[in-house]
Amino acid sequence: MTRSRFGIGTVMMTAALALTAGLSVTAAGTAAVAAAPATLTVPLCQPLTAPPDNTFPGTTVVADNFESGTLLNWAVKTGGDGTASVVGTPTYTGGCAGYLHTSSSKGSVANLQKAIPSGTAEVYADGEFNLATAGTTGATNPYFRFFNGTTRIASVYRYATNGQLWLETLSPTAGWVRTRLTTAAVPLSAWNHVQAAFLPNGAATTVQVWLNNSLVYSSTGVNGPTVPVTSVMLGSESKNQKGDLYLDNVIIKAATAAQTSCSATPPANTMPGQTVVADGFECGNLANWTVHMAGDGTAGVQSSTVYDGTLAASLVTTSNTNSLANMSTALPASTTQTDVDGWFDITAIGPDGNDVPYFRFFTGTTRFADVYRYNSTGQLWLRVLTPAGTYSYVRLTSYSVPLDSWHRVQMEVVPNGTASTIQVWFDGALLYNSSAVSTSATNVTTVMLGSEHYPQPASINIDDVIVKAVVP
């Protein structure tokens, strides 16, 4: 990591002159009138302050607290009445912060961009942001944008219409895929800590996003680009993208490969079979699963609601068209029995008549059995596909399963046509046990958690999941 050496030279002499005149300092180190609210004070930078740092892996590409009084660490682009400067207030730490101003006027643009060294794979971006003026309805205010050459391949931004945090990734097959990361608005005129990790790898692209130190999105199954990140941009890429954005303590790192510090012991139980998946999600990703998301559905890992350890999975879907989020695992060929075990905390549900699934079992692409919470009553139900192609239903509880609380669901499924075996435990109590279940399935190939179809709105937290298979 290298520190700026511009604190005792010509640039700071220019800054000193600017202080006297009440001006800001531009990327070129020259004094210029700052296009900013009159309440701003001139910079009082602290150039001997050590650069910011974090615990992300990789090599530091840039670490800038803007205490040099310049933007010389960046490629700066402005147009129209857009400005990029260093100001003395507001700051997150120290005496200075970066400031990007754009308006809705024709040609207004302002951004900072940093090239990523070739040969690296994963990029980590980290910074404090204070958005004082948001864009117009329907517009966005970007925090980090990731590029390959001149093509933007991913972006984390605040949506001006409702203030929510969103992720946008470029899919090679579906164009732009947009994922809502928060339901609450990111507050204006306040410092917010935004971090993102991005590893382009085609259909196995890894993306993680944190807001104010909370992991709001994590997936290793994003259908993204196959090309590497060559630069990271802060600020407005497009013209007429109105905003007043202050930034501080920005760090960008690049790693040669995806890195993980996962060392947690996976969950275990005494159910029969060989372990296919045992996941407490402490690795911070869904790498053990096949993840499917569509619309504004999200599947990731979060740290705010966990049963055990520090992380748990999260599946969130809405009533919007195409909203879908699930995670599944394939079972070994010729599996005759599967035993599953997991902890679930349902925090939001959809309308009456709909349901929130726990475990679903498939033979090929056909679902033949599942256990779910029925929205109308909150009761636990078992559903089985009969040989006639219709569904039979068994109510497992007379009481409503409470929301916003952790519950353990365990099942044993042995598909054998009209002599199938299914057992269901809930919070350790055996609720159902039959070896005469009549179903169409004679084998089981896949276990799924989450929404199979849409609309199926829900918010589900999941922890300590174990899937086992009995193979002759």
What are the structural domain ranges in the chain? 6-255, 274-470
* pLDDT per residue as tens digits for the range 433-450: 999 999 999 999 999 999
pLDDT for 304 beyond 80: yes
What distance in Å separates the CA atoms of residue 423 and residue 434, rounded to the nearest whole number? 7
Q: Give Cα separations from 326 to 143, 346, 466 (angstroms).
A: 28, 14, 16
Query: If one looks up domain 274-470 in CATH, what number appears?
Result: 2.60.120.200
The model carries a pTM of 0.53
160 beta partners: none
For residue 187, cis peptide bond before it (omega within 30 degrees of 0) = no
pLDDT for 1 beyond 70: no
Q: How confident is the model at residue 22 (pLDDT cuts 50, 70, 90)?
A: very low
> Number of C-alpha atoms within 13 angstroms, CB side, residue 195?
19
Q: According to the CATH classification, is domain 6-255 in 3.40.30.10?
A: no
Q: Give Cα separations from 37 to 71, 87, 240 (angstroms).
A: 20, 11, 19
| 364-370 contact pairs (CB < 8 A, 24+) | 364/445, 366/440, 366/441, 367/448, 367/452, 368/415, 368/439, 368/440, 368/441, 368/444, 369/413, 369/415, 369/422, 369/439, 369/441
Q: What is the pLDDT of residue 113?
A: 97
* pLDDT per residue as tens digits for the range 106-146: 899 999 999 999 877 789 999 999 999 999 898 999 999 99
Asked if domains 6-255 and 274-470 share a fold, the reply is yes
